[in-house]
A and B are shown apart, each in its own frame.
Chain A
Amino acid sequence: MPAPTQPALGDEQAFALHERYGAAAYGLDREQFAAILRDIQSKYLPLASPNEAADFCGALRLEELALARGCAAGNDRAWQDFISHYRNKLHAMALHITRDAAHAAELADSLFADLYGVNTRDGVRHSKLVFYTARGSLEGWLRTVMAQEFINRYRKQKRVVSLDEQEEEGTQFVAVNSPPVTPSDVRLEAATDEALAELSSEDRYVLAAYHLDGRTLAEIARVLGLHESSISRRLDRVTTTLRKRILACLRERGMSHAQAKEALETDVRDVHLDLWARLAQDSGAKAFPGGKVPAPGAGTDGTHV
């Protein structure tokens, strides 16, 4: 039988944190608080030494953790504090995310219900605040949870299209999605994958956020905690490096420089074909010289008969 392992976070340290951050005010006793801290520490830092565990727990937002867990446990004072601090903020967050007052109110109320725990299991109310682990601020966590909820709702609603709307738009049935166009040369795909794999995670994130998600430089900069100009320079550098690296990988796969450049630059999806100009060019002599259409009853030279 294995000997019981000593918890990384000692009782004394946990009790000191309990007292220091006033968890008792929200109805949490020392043992409960210590158990919560050990759960969080074992989740994120399972193999931590006692010192590492103490440092980790000391860096958590313990005051907000006590508030959240007090709310989850149904403490009245905790709920009073939570409502006074976060009720209005929830609406403001929802408005920022949805950009629509009606949807914002619906989203905020829905999240508030989840936080309160309207769903009961075995007669016990389950609050979403149990999942808050104080790695970041409670306000930030609420904003993240709300963003997740908003995306989930958006996806659900996106799948549902009302028949009335379809009829109004004249759509009788949904067209089958066309299969993706495969590149003509698999070597180009492999070379691109290889070049992308050589990028650092942050460079790849910048590339994806800018080119795929359409984020602005300012938004990316705020996420990464950098200045906008740094992101701009990095994006230029990554784009240039990536192009060079893909060309090099294509040459390694047996292409000449000209072939590699042609393969990269003449991808069929990069060709901007002006069909109108081409059609006009192929039509030979103009049907109506001068661009004027003769009026009915007029002669070939434009004079009335």
Chain B
Amino acid sequence: MSDVPKIVHDRLRAGAPGAAHPDADVLTAFAEQALSGAEREGVVRHLSRCADCREVVALSIPPMETIALPTADREGVPAAGTSGGGLRAWFAWPNLRWAAMAAAGVVGVAVLTFGPGKQHQSMVENVSQRAEKAAPSSDASAKPVPPLVDQAMLPAANPAKPDTSLAREARASRMIAPQPLRAQSQAATDSAAQFADQKRADSLESKGNFSSEAKRLTPQAPAARAARVNGGMVASEQPEQMIGSSRETVEVNGAAEVVQSAPTEERLTARNELTPPIEKAKPAAKEEAQLKAQVPDSGTQNKLAATYSNSDTAFALQKQRSTRSKDVAAQWSLAQGRLQRSLDAGTTWQTALQLQHPLLSFGARGSDVWAGGQAGTLFHSTDSGTTWSMVQASTKAESLSSDIVAIEVRSQAEIVLSTSNNESWTTIDAGKTWDKK
């Protein structure tokens, strides 16, 4: 930054403020960007000549670190405002400019990744995955109680391409057709709209982020649909609450094998070896198959619906467990006075908390994280570092003012701080009251 001559410093300092000092309300409104044009101009004019008021305004700006999560991508880009004008500042053009560039980049990557050719390719890959997955199911069809295959996992095939039996099963199960063989005939002449819907669902599924378990857990998703593969007969059963009318049965004769072409099968099998995402879905699919296998084949529709409900509950619990395990999996470390967090077992790290002075210690238990620094600085997050609140440890007699060198999180409510002067501060109510030893 180029410097100005000393005479400019002197003359700037010599300029006396013309009018009286603005009161605290006006300075507050100015700092919060709440003044209108003319009034704001008057305050700026005063501030340009009054060092005292400039000092007051500078001190009355709230601190940066108590606003929100200082994540890694926001690191080094200070917010232009916090309380009143914070939102407006975030949506100011300089920030939107970068957001627009980032959005353009995302769109470009999306187009390259999910272009028409690649989308079809991912669809074929999914079909191949289902084909391999269904192979043991077909083998198991000889058993008295055949395993169930979740139709929600089965994508539709491109009508223009040679169809596979599983793809046809999938489409057949989606068709609410009371007449036998209707699904088979409908599958060949599927409407463009249905194909587009399925294509979109398949593209989501093929990303891997949208797992089949999550899809099954969604109440609106066709999770309750299931097809029994039994000696070439495919039956689709739907609970009443899903379709509102009655149980629909679709039977597809063993003609499925007729349309399967050998080259396609080879190609699909070859691709299947390179597609690991389906492996992630296997345990859940097995669990669901076990749950559903417990249902007697001759069970009533109510029993079936109850089993589906139970299976949904089981998967919901599993999802909760996985969410909880994500929180537990967060790893923390202190690097150069910054508290850093890793959500992928230490592969990548993000700055979760950074203050003007370096942090000295931290303690974490589940989603509860405490970070301590110099002069009694103490921050607490209850959501794995997403938001932070400043905590002042103090008793009736005194406040904690020495450096916090160690934090022991014994439970969610019981925290023990060790300071540089060998004090021990304890709270048993998550920081509301403290006891000094």
Contact = CB atoms under 8 A, between A and B. Distances in A.
Interface of A: 88, 91-93, 95-97, 99-102, 104-105, 131-137, 139-141, 143-148, 150-151, 183, 188-189, 192-193, 196, 201-202, 204-205, 207-213, 215, 218-219, 221-230, 232, 235-236, 239-240, 242-243, 246, 264-265, 267, 269-270
A222 B49 CA distance: 19
B25 A141 contact: yes
A209 B54 contact: yes
B11 A228 contact: no
Given A137-B84, A144-B28, A242-B4, A212 B60 contact: no
Given A95-B392, A209-B54, A229-B94, A201 B4 contact: no
Chain A interface, DSSP helix/strand/loop, else mixed: helix
Given A101-B400, A131-B24, A205-B44, A221 B5 contact: no
A264 B5 contact: yes
Contacts of A240: 2
Contacts of A204: 12, 48-49
A243 B5 contact: yes
13 contacts: A91-B394, A136-B32, A146-B60, A192-B11, A204-B48, A211-B3, A211-B4, A221-B78, A224-B44, A230-B94, A236-B2, A240-B2, A243-B4
B59 A211 contact: no
A192 B15 CA distance: 12
Interface in B68-88: 78-85, 88
A42 to B, nearest CB: 14
B332 to A, nearest CB: 23
Given A140-B28, A147-B56, A221-B78, A239 B4 contact: yes
B13 to A, nearest CB: 6
B399 A213 contact: no
Nearest to A197: B15
B60 A144 contact: yes
Nearest to A199: B48
B146 interface: no
Contacts of B24: 131, 141, 144-145, 148
B1 A232 contact: yes
B28 A141 contact: yes
A215 B58 contact: yes
A137 B55 contact: no
B357 to A, nearest CB: 9
B5 A267 contact: yes
Interface in B399-415: 399-401
